[in-house]
Each structure stands twice: as C-alpha cells, then as structure tokens.
Amino acid sequence: MTISKRTAPSDLGEITLFTITNDKGASVELSTLGAGIVAVNVPDKEGKIENVALAYANPADYIADGPCLGKVPGRYANRIAKGDLVVDGVKHQLAINNGPNALHGGPTGFMNRIWEAEEIENGVRFTYRSADGEENYPGNLTAVAEYSWNDDNELALLFKATTDKATVINLTNHAYFNLDGADSGTVLNHSMVMKASKWLPTDDTLIPTGEIADVKGTPMDFLEEKTIGRDIKADFPALKYGKGYDNCWVNDGWEPGRLLEDIVVLKAPVSGRVLKVSSSQPAVQVYTGNWLAGSPLNKSGRSYEDYEGVAIEMQGMPDAPHHANFPTQELRPGEEYIREIRFGFSAE
C-alpha cells in the first residue's frame, strides 16, 4: 500500500489530495475539502481500472457545489424541517437552504471546510472542529472521518465525534457512483437491491411525515434486484416530489452498533462492476442525481447531466429531532458518536 499526495489552490486555502494505492493497482483519492472522495479507481470485468466516483476536474470546484459531490455534509446531513432545532428545550434556528428546510448542516456546513488531515496505516484521518454556535448548532464538536483502503478494494469510512454540550449529529458521505465509469452517462440502467423493507414517506419538501411504511407494492421496493430506472417515472408522489429517487429507507435488522453487511448492492451492466455497501447506520438515503445538470466541469470537460450518478448515503434518519419514533441523533458530553460505512468494489 502506498500513499502519495498533491496540493491544489482554492479560495478557502490549500487543498491536499491523498491517493492510496493498493498492491493490485486500484486506488482512491481523498480531499481535505469536506473530507471528500474524489476518485475510486477500480477494475471492471476485463481488468480495466477506471474511476467510478463522479468527480470535477478542478479540486477547488467542490466548494459550494450544489450536488455536494463526494463530501461529508454536517453537522446534520439531510434535512431538518424549517431549520427548527430544539435541544434540551432550547431552540436553535438553523439556516434555511433547501426550500423551507435546513439541509446538510447549512450553506457552509462541514462539506465546505478544509479539514485537518494525517496519514494513518492504509488511509487518512480527517478532523474538523466545529465551534459552539457554528451554523447555530450547540456545542463545540470534534468530528473525525477516517478512511482506509485495502487489497480487496474495500473503502472503509469510520466516523467519530464528541461534544462539550448536548447537540445533534448525522454524518455520511455524499459520493455519487457510476460503475461504468465516472463520465460514462446514465446510471438508470444500473441494477440495485436493498435489504430495506421499510421507507420514510415525506411531504412535498422531502421532510418525513413520521410514518415508517412498507415498500411492498410501491416503486420503493428494491427487495428484489431491479434497474434504478424501471420505476423512476412512476405516478407516485415520492418520485414526483424529488424528480426521481431522493428518499430514505430503513435498514433491516439495524440495532445500535451493529454492522449490517451488503445493505445495498449496485451492479453495472456494461463494466460488470459491483458495489456492496455495508454500514452500522440505521438508514440509507438513495439519491439518483436528479439535479446534477449544471454542475462544475468533470474530467471530460462537461457538466454532469441528471441521473449520471447515484448517491448511497448511509446515515441517520432525516428530521429525526422532530420524530420520537426515529433513532435519536442526539450526542451528549461524555458520549462518543461512532458510525461505520464500507464500500466494497468487485467485478463479475
């Protein structure tokens, strides 16, 4: 395993990019900007190594991009209704940056910060210290995103966080994948299967209603393998609200601290590449890149179009602070937030 690094200028300061290459020549590239994934170079069924994570040509173009490409959003990934956060009876008004709601921790969030970085065995540890009151969240919070890469082409991501005051936290990674190649076009022909028999219906602003509903008999059913595009245009409220899939599923069998294997399996028809995502998170938001058009230029010299990547975001449930029946995302002094995500790449 080798780790190399390079730097790139940006308006926020110097960005450092780390490339971790395993003994088989497969590699990942990580950025201090938003603790982001900017490349995952893995072989197809013929052995051809190619990047399968959507990426911009310029490392600085990840700043304040609409898709939040590859980065770690926070302090609270996904949505909080009307930015209305109450912790221990105290109201904190969050920025409204997604319709009437708060999204991904605010306009800056964790995704548009330069994180501290240090090399570790087979990986990189990123650290961000969020001050009490930053984006109106309570508590001085230290967040760690620790990536490691192995010879089996598995990228492991371990999140840790501590706080000095009661707060909320929900961390994930927002990489978009196209297993036929990052600049190859649509992912609607990819097939997907999920170990998730329940999902969270939402209102038309994508805020959960509080109901935990069965997927059976709906376009949200991925219990059996099907293409992403098969039902995406169905006459179904959730798909109309988001112009495609932008929804949260409940991971079957979840309990605190338990790593669930192969919750989502994504397959590409042309390259034969397979992605298996495992996690200790209670839920997964699947977003089919419904609003990618107009993004910064990729390495092919063009913007991505809608549906050219799919984000598989293992996370806590959106708007959990408003729903007592959802797993809590509160973090208190003396506690440690620990969550794990694993992305395993192969070909068949």
Total residue length of the chain? 348
DSSP state, residue 170:
B
203 pLDDT band (50/70/90 cuts)?
Answer: very high
Could you give the CA distance from residue 241 to residue 244 in angstroms, rounded to a whole number? 8
Could you give the CA distance from residue 131 to residue 221 in angstroms, rounded to a whole number? 41
pLDDT tens track for 152-187: 999 999 999 999 999 999 999 999 999 999 999 999
14 pLDDT band (50/70/90 cuts)?
Answer: very high
* Backbone phi, psi, residue 230, to 5°: -60, -45
DSSP state, residue 303:
P
What are residue 155's DSSP bridge partners?
A: 149, 343
**What is the pLDDT averaged over residues 297-320?**
97
**What is the pLDDT averaged over residues 105-119?**
98
From residue 325, how far is each of 20, 209, 210, 256, 263 by CA, in Å?
Answer: 41, 11, 8, 15, 22
pLDDT at 163: 98
Residues annotated as part of the active site:
174, 313
* Beta strands at 36-43 and 27-31: parallel, antiparallel or unpaired: antiparallel
* pTM beyond 0.95: yes
pLDDT at 141: 98
What is the SS3 assignment for 61?
A: helix
What is the SS3 assignment for 301?
A: coil
- Cβ atoms of 86 and 65 within 8 Å: the answer is no
pLDDT at 308: 98
Could you give the CA distance from residue 290 to residue 44 in angstroms, rounded to a whole number? 26
Tell me the HSE value of 150 on the side-chain side, using a 13 A CA sphere.
10
pLDDT at 276: 98
DSSP assignment string, 239-289: HHHHTS-EEEEEPTT--TTPPEEEEEEEE-TTT-EEEEEEESSSEEEEE--
pLDDT tens track for 261-295: 999 999 999 999 999 999 999 999 999 999 999 99
12 pLDDT band (50/70/90 cuts)?
Answer: very high
**Peptide bond just before 75 cis, omega within 30 deg:** yes
pLDDT at 242: 94
Q: Is 89 exposed, middle or buried (0-12, 13-18, 19+ CB in 10 A)?
A: exposed
What is the SS3 assignment for 152?
A: coil
Could you give the CA distance from residue 245 to residue 77 in angstroms, rounded to a whole number? 17
What is the pLDDT of the chain when averaged over all its residues? Answer: 98
Could you give the CA distance from residue 244 to residue 101 in angstroms, rounded to a whole number? 19
Helices in the chain by DSSP H: which ranges? Answer: 237-242
Residues above pLDDT 70, as percent of the chain: 100
- Which domains does the chain carry? 2-347 (2.70.98.10)
What are residue 80's DSSP bridge partners?
A: 102
Could you give the CA distance from residue 277 to residue 155 in angstroms, rounded to a whole number? 10
Could you give the CA distance from residue 218 to residue 13 in angstroms, rounded to a whole number? 47
Could you give the CA distance from residue 97 to residue 287 in angstroms, rounded to a whole number? 18
